[in-house]
Structure 1
């Protein structure tokens, strides 16, 4: 199975754009459009939604002619399985919707604590899941039931108090002969992995692609926004495959029909969007745009796949939700119903587990904003400034139950458990003007995320810098650092790709700013990978204040075979704000290394003599 689909995944497209000078990290950048605020109000309050991928691909479930098709996502089976249009049309015509009940989908979303639902109106295969007058290739014309699931879902969402939203693949359509992606049936078409630059100068391909936009894409957008009531979001995809002019025309069309409808970044770029999107299933994210949305599948595929049993646990899902909220983002979990429209039992159970946690802890997610304090080792934080509350999401019990809440200067009046306000409140005391010590009495009450409510007085006064711990370890993940240089960039941020890469120029560096509350001595460890041989290697320095270490890259077994190496010790002379920098000094291969994180381990008196300072 392929790990990704280049040019069809937002993270992959971002990674390529991030190679350009001046954009080392591929960060999500703000458009500066203040007019989005009114449109975004409900979305910022919601924080949690459902994605649904359902279409003819769901009937196949990843299999074609008895064989498992090697594709990252099951909804790409027409392309990956090289299924001719005429044969795929027969599959599409068999969607009988026997297991589809719109109110059951809405009930599942509500039970999970979700507030909006994004449904695939048309995916890359070009099959409209509604009654399209612009193109007869749709479920109402071809399907045996004659039902319109988009209309039924619009009405069910209205009854259930869920904001109805639509996904529309505007850039890619494998059924239309003039669009992109299908070179099996249409050999002269724009290829699925052809870059934008490869065809915009081709007069024939550009003219044909414009015909697809005029004949199908624009008319279908108009239908969806005209015939199905209020639409909260029109969720576009693969916008990196269209021009700025085309992206602008899509945005203007949406605004002309439903001015309040939100537009996501994948329409083309931040310039035309209300909010940003990282890549699919991207665990590590660079956040520089205040409004953004992270999308995750419950397993690996977006569309239903029989063989996909790599389910995330309920604890993983809840931690994704709280960590995203702590960075100011929304979370959307995808469900891939079976071909009949039935949501499988395992997906339902995961949604129910998420719902059980949300029923108790929703105040720590809904209507909150990102953490105003540094990212602690024990978990993360969300804030409700109107109610003067910080929600402390404890994902890992700290050693000895000594929870240090750093960076809060405002007077703190109370700390209590969110799940049970009547439970004995943990004791807490001030360590200094910015830090609190909370004494946790015993085991955490929730395996996923136990939440303490911190009540403070007055305007929030906080320090956003990470606090260096005087006991244990302090981690500095690369996605929390600032990359500097012409080539150094962040990898995709997916599982196993939470590193910087292309570190191929001496002088390129990565830095973190942190706060120390006391003097101390620390062992410095790096987690990195580097291919053996001539591909990677060289020397680097680690600097902090007046101290510096220099080390050689020791090869690992491969570019993503990460290991941890201790390189020496650094001394922190006293309280203050410091910058930790890793810099390439000499590169003797194609690249220095793929760095994942730096760890500073506080040393005890017994350990200190063993480390050189």
Structure 2
């Protein structure tokens, strides 16, 4: 993902440790609780990016456009409006079938669908009376996809949600992003503070909001029946007052319609969003949603064949849900209007897995136990669901920190439903569950653990001398200090950055349930002479000191074994990494600490 694409992702809001929420009165909280109930139950959804950009599919005049996101074609290829508009003349969408799209989502086990009613290009993918720049009026297709999707969603019991790019519109002369046709416009990457006090730019931008954005949002809320979410984007480019106007408009017209936080920033709307494809995160304190692609682009890109594996996608989904979030996977249909074969294949794997294991996802809550090396955990009622993707050697699965009495353990999808033997190891709630020799599912098998009473756990991560590497990722640690920060959490960015103060540190709490010796390793990136120093890793009476080694790049992560720890006593410990010397601008980009029994 390029830096420029990243800037359209509310990138400044990714550091979730600094979230501050607006105060809400009791009535507002009650209304939000009513709106969001269905969404909390749904847990998984489908994003669909479809627009004029889908027809060229990332290629313009025979050349692949240098843009991670194909839907940014107009901006990144610097296409004048009069040329870009001509795409509409060829937009026949002869293979579009709303029912097929909704059935694909339903067969995949997904519960809601977010469709791009208007993206940054400004083209309405519905029958807009506000602007003739629409799929109904400007293309030979001439039909209203949103109307057809609304009817299909109603038939299939799918919740229809709509994406609307409110902050940017590259077709409107007074909006943001298009300085090729309108040189005096606000630039696509211009920060809010650079123009909000500029009378000319702010006045013209307000005209765009009043002439197009607000009226089109009202159209979407009045023409198609109940809408589950009005999903906004790039809200970091508008003011708080403007953000509130969008929220109020949606809730005034459809009180039951959710608004996502990208309408403005943290605390706005009904729930939070991560960044695009943000795979590691600090858990926000409110309801939140993670959105992800199957390859790199959101809109269809005919040159992008770097598909994620079905294992990676399912593990990503389970990880997000185990942290209490919702997970939305994206497809970008072709300009002809069909979902490509590879996307359908990957959706099919998701659907097959959810068909067997869906009860561990739908309506579930985040994990109440510590991070485990074998997978993730969710909770629903009086059942823990253990999502096991690293099958334990010898079939002995450690369930840490469950203080309740276990009634029954069994594998979802096992027929007949055999009770798995289990035993309590100690008075800390650590259990061993005996699993079959082989996993039921090669990607992830789910063990259901039914327990008595209200859930009670010890949520600290457990370290045990069983030959398994215990990973302490930085996004699970707690930071102390003024400079060190979590990176974006996206692929290759699941590390710390800006570690420039001797007072900065990171720590994790954990438990040792079997005494013994452990090898300690640090995984980090260090680019050049401006990065380096000496750091220590400490836990209990153990302390190791090491010099930062160059890795060839700040995001070229390498695993360095530091030395041994020995835990003579069982119990709780704090693992801390802190600098002893910083020789340059920053210490290192730490990714994780690993402990493995000797």
Question: TM-score, normalised to structure 1's length?
Answer: 0.94
How many residue pairs get matched?
591
Do residues 601 (structure 1) and 592 (structure 2) align?
no
**Structure 2 Cα separation of the partners of residues 250 and 274 of structure 1:** 12
For residue 246 of structure 1, report the CA deviation from its aligned partner.
0.8
Q: Give the alignment of 1:368-387 within 5 angstroms.
A: 368-385=364-381
Task: Report the more deviating stretch, 421-430 or 499-508.
Answer: 421-430
Give the alignment's Cα RMSD to 1 decimal: 1.5
Do residues 494 (structure 1) and 493 (structure 2) align?
no
Task: Report the more deviating stretch, 290-299 or 160-169.
Answer: 290-299
Q: 2:397 aligns with which of 386, 392, 403?
A: 403
Partner of 1:263: 259
Q: 1:189 aligns with which of 172, 185, 189?
A: 185
Partner of 1:591: 586
**Structure 1 Cα separation of the partners of residues 19 and 463 of structure 2:** 28
**Structure 1 Cα separation of the partners of residues 155 and 347 of structure 2:** 20
Taking a change above 3 Å as real, the CA distance of residues 28 and 283 of structure 1, as seen in their structure-2 partners, is farther
Q: Contact conserved, 1:521 with 1:570, CA < 8 A, in 2?
A: yes
Q: Give the alignment of 1:214-233 within 5 angstroms.
A: 214-233=210-229
Do residues 419 (structure 1) and 413 (structure 2) align?
yes
Taking a change above 3 Å as real, the CA distance of residues 46 and 94 of structure 1, as seen in their structure-2 partners, is same
Task: Report the more deviating stretch, 461-470 or 328-337.
Answer: 461-470
Q: 1:103 aligns with which of 94, 99, 110?
A: 99
Do residues 394 (structure 1) and 388 (structure 2) align?
yes
For residue 575 of structure 1, report the CA deviation from its aligned partner.
2.6
Q: Contact conserved, 2:116 with 2:163, CA < 8 A, in 1?
A: yes
Q: Contact conserved, 1:27 with 1:287, CA < 8 A, in 2?
A: no
Partner of 1:77: 73
**Structure 1 Cα separation of the partners of residues 6 and 314 of structure 2:** 28
1:216 is paired with a residue whose SS is: helix
**Structure 2 Cα separation of the partners of residues 364 and 133 of structure 1:** 44
**Structure 1 Cα separation of the partners of residues 99 and 18 of structure 2:** 38
Taking a change above 3 Å as real, the CA distance of residues 26 and 461 of structure 1, as seen in their structure-2 partners, is closer
- 1:265-317 CA-partner distances (Å, limit 9, x unpaired): 11112322211111111111111324111111111100001111111222222
Partner of 1:469: 464
Q: Contact conserved, 1:28 with 1:278, CA < 8 A, in 2?
A: no
Where structure 2 has 5 or more consecutive residues not aligned to the other structure, the ranges are none
1:5 is paired with a residue whose SS is: helix
Q: Contact conserved, 1:413 with 1:457, CA < 8 A, in 2?
A: yes
Q: Give the alignment of 1:276-425 within 5 angstroms.
A: 276-385=272-381, 388-425=382-419
**Structure 1 Cα separation of the partners of residues 319 and 21 of structure 2:** 21
Q: Give the alignment of 1:146-185 within 5 angstroms.
A: 146-185=142-181
Task: Report the more deviating stretch, 396-405 or 256-265.
Answer: 396-405
For residue 519 of structure 1, report the CA deviation from its aligned partner.
2.9
2:302 is paired with a residue whose SS is: coil
Task: Report the more deviating stretch, 81-90 or 342-351.
Answer: 342-351
Where structure 1 has 5 or more consecutive residues not aligned to the other structure, the ranges are 19-24, 604-613
- 1:437-481 CA-partner distances (Å, limit 9, x unpaired): 112221111011100110101111111111112222211000111
Task: Report the more deviating stretch, 78-87 or 200-209.
Answer: 200-209
**Structure 2 Cα separation of the partners of residues 600 and 139 of structure 1:** 57
Partner of 1:22: none
Q: Give the alignment of 1:199-278 within 5 angstroms.
A: 199-278=195-274
Do residues 88 (structure 1) and 84 (structure 2) align?
yes
**Structure 2 Cα separation of the partners of residues 38 and 465 of structure 1:** 33
1:562 is paired with a residue whose SS is: strand
2:179 is paired with a residue whose SS is: coil
1:383 is paired with a residue whose SS is: strand
Task: Report the more deviating stretch, 437-446 or 374-383.
Answer: 437-446
**Structure 2 Cα separation of the partners of residues 162 and 29 of structure 1:** 33
2:273 is paired with a residue whose SS is: coil
For residue 159 of structure 1, report the CA deviation from its aligned partner.
1.0
Q: 2:543 aligns with which of 514, 524, 548?
A: 548
2:519 is paired with a residue whose SS is: strand
For residue 411 of structure 1, report the CA deviation from its aligned partner.
0.2
For residue 546 of structure 1, report the CA deviation from its aligned partner.
3.6
Partner of 2:552: 557
- 1:105-145 CA-partner distances (Å, limit 9, x unpaired): 11000000011000000000000011111111111111113
Q: Contact conserved, 1:92 with 1:139, CA < 8 A, in 2?
A: yes
Q: Contact conserved, 2:495 with 2:591, CA < 8 A, in 1?
A: yes
For residue 584 of structure 1, report the CA deviation from its aligned partner.
2.1
For residue 421 of structure 1, report the CA deviation from its aligned partner.
4.8
For residue 29 of structure 1, report the CA deviation from its aligned partner.
5.5
Taking a change above 3 Å as real, the CA distance of residues 300 and 331 of structure 1, as seen in their structure-2 partners, is same
Q: Contact conserved, 1:416 with 1:426, CA < 8 A, in 2?
A: yes
For residue 14 of structure 1, report the CA deviation from its aligned partner.
2.6
1:60 is paired with a residue whose SS is: coil
For residue 4 of structure 1, report the CA deviation from its aligned partner.
5.8
For residue 227 of structure 1, report the CA deviation from its aligned partner.
1.3
**Structure 1 Cα separation of the partners of residues 105 and 23 of structure 2:** 32
**Structure 2 Cα separation of the partners of residues 314 and 507 of structure 1:** 42
Partner of 1:13: 12
Do residues 435 (structure 1) and 430 (structure 2) align?
yes
Partner of 1:610: none
For residue 543 of structure 1, report the CA deviation from its aligned partner.
1.9
**Structure 1 Cα separation of the partners of residues 436 and 152 of structure 2:** 46
Q: 1:581 aligns with which of 576, 579, 592?
A: 576
**Structure 1 Cα separation of the partners of residues 18 and 448 of structure 2:** 31
**Structure 2 Cα separation of the partners of residues 202 and 129 of structure 1:** 32
Q: Contact conserved, 2:272 with 2:284, CA < 8 A, in 1?
A: no
Q: Give the alignment of 1:100-139 within 5 angstroms.
A: 100-139=96-135
**Structure 2 Cα separation of the partners of residues 450 and 27 of structure 1:** 36
1:560 is paired with a residue whose SS is: strand
**Structure 2 Cα separation of the partners of residues 537 and 494 of structure 1:** 24
For residue 560 of structure 1, report the CA deviation from its aligned partner.
1.0
Partner of 1:606: none
